Amino acid sequence: MPMNSLPTAILAHMVAINNVPPPPLRSIPRLKLSRNINYGQLNALCHIRERQSSRHSPLNLTAHDEFMKQYPQIFIHEKTVLPKISQQDEKRKCSAKTEENKLQPPESHNIAEYARKARGGPSLYDEEISSLKFVEFLAILKKLPVHRTAQEHNAVWNMLKKIPELASQLSDEHLKILSKNVFSETWIKGSTVIGDDGLYVILKGHARPRVKVIKSLTEDDDSIISSISRESLAFDAELKDSTRAELYLPSHEFLLRKWDTFGSLEVAEAEAETDETLNSIVTEDDCEILKISAKEYEKLKLEKIRHENVKKLKLIRKCPFYENWPTLSVYDLASLSKWKVFPPGHVLVESGTVISFVGFINSGYCNIYRDVVGLVKQRLRKVKKTKKLVYMGKLREKESFGEISILLQTPFTCTIITGREVEMTIIEDKDIL
């Protein structure tokens, strides 16, 4: 390294220790001030030379040791700044704690609360939460479906799944679709509700189903009027002939409460005569009633059938034997087929039997085995015949099997066993024949 490029402090130290003559001042370049050097410590090192007397004196060695010890202090080390911890996690933790605190039931000294817990029933706090959700549910149903948010649609769907009558008739997928179109109706006390165009669920209030009562017109008018007034004020009458009249009166034996249903999801045919008493009620007080349109449900079923037929059509079309078939013929096969799922290890057909269906594999695979008779040696030079299954190959996705066996009524020469869960559409032999 050239002498002129050394720092001033180091040059001074070399001159003091080794008696090296300093270079001419004009040859020492002017140093630029740096942010990484502590110039106070640098000046202190320069003054160490003044305390040195001779080259080999102990004071000179002491100054050298002091110089080497203080030399690293002339450099300023930048402090490493760690990245700031984001406040979002802390906020999330705080919000989660607050939500947990909100969800936790407050301490109660009510004896009824402990009695409910001991009997295994819902607590008063749970009932309060459910009542708040129910009020929110009623408020959402008052809105038009187009004005509801995605969160509100999910709230309606989750509430409908808790209604036993709906959960037993509709799948979760159907309920999710129908929940986006349902709405509630308000009926005042004494109204007659005819549920012939859908399924109705009572959300608030009480109602009584109507029953048919036949009255004879040959009795005194006063007795007929008095019987009607004793039974109910809300009634309908229809004259059948000159001697009889049919009265539709609220039943005194049955009372419909919250979550009870009436009506049907089946669309009533125009020509068919239905009994109105099966689908009609009379409100005992102001009621909120949820309506699920039968026509909307019918559209949903037709759309599902159409979607499944398209899926079956694509599956059959991709099978090798049906690529060149006319579309109408493939559509006839799709209309006759139905979906079925088989677990892994299920024997679809055994060797030597006629299969009962034609299968079109949509997912999964099946293993093909051939029955082979072999000889097994035993003791005393005896031989025994045994059957073994020899692996022959696989039936993969978008492949079909069983057509020849059904059409010609010939037994299968192989055994087919599912390798894993297999979804396929099948056509039974009676539909093909």
Q: Encode the chain (433 residues) as per-residue pLDDT tens digits.
A: 444 444 555 555 555 555 545 555 444 455 556 667 777 777 777 776 556 544 555 556 777 777 777 777 777 766 666 665 555 555 555 554 554 454 445 555 556 555 555 665 555 445 555 777 888 888 999 888 889 999 999 989 988 888 888 888 888 888 888 888 888 989 999 898 988 888 899 999 999 998 877 766 665 554 544 554 444 445 555 555 556 666 777 888 888 988 888 888 887 665 455 555 568 899 999 999 999 888 888 988 898 889 999 999 999 999 999 999 998 999 999 999 999 999 999 999 999 999 999 999 999 999 999 988 877 787 777 888 888 889 999 999 999 999 999 999 999 999 999 999 999 999 999 998 8
- By C-alpha distance, which of 339, 266, 275 is closest to 307? 339
Name residues whose C-beta falls within 8 Å of residue 185's C-beta, 6 or more positions apart in sequence. Answer: 288, 289, 290, 291
- By C-alpha distance, which of 327, 382, 338 is closest to 360? 338
User: Which H, E and C letters describe 278-343, residue by residue?
Assistant: HCEEEECCCEEEEEEEHHHHHHHHHHHHHHHHHHHHHHHHHCHHHCCCCHHHHHHHHHHCEEEEEC
The pairing of strands 422-428 and 357-363 is antiparallel
Specify the DSSP element, H or E, that contains 393.
strand 382-395
Give the integer Cα–Cα distance in Å for 290 and 202: 6
425 DSSP β-pair partners: 339, 360
Using the CB atoms, write b or e for 55-79: b if 16+ within 10 Å.
eeeeebeebeeebeeeeeebeeeee
CA 269 to chain CA centroid, nearest Å: 37
Name residues whose C-beta falls within 8 Å of residue 309's C-beta, 6 or more positions apart in sequence. Answer: 331, 334, 335
pLDDT for residue 354: 93
Give the integer Cα–Cα distance in Å for 317 and 270: 39
pLDDT for residue 35: 66
pLDDT for residue 107: 53
Domains and CATH numbers, the chain: 3-74 (no CATH), 126-293 (2.60.120.10), 319-432 (2.60.120.10)
Amino acid residing at 41: Q
pLDDT for residue 211: 81
Tell me the backbone φ, ψ of residue 374, rounded to 5 degrees: -125, 165
- Helices 124-142 and 111-119: crossing angle in degrees, nearest 10, is 90
The answer to whether the Cα torsion of 357, 360, 362, 364 is positive or negative is: positive
pLDDT for residue 206: 92
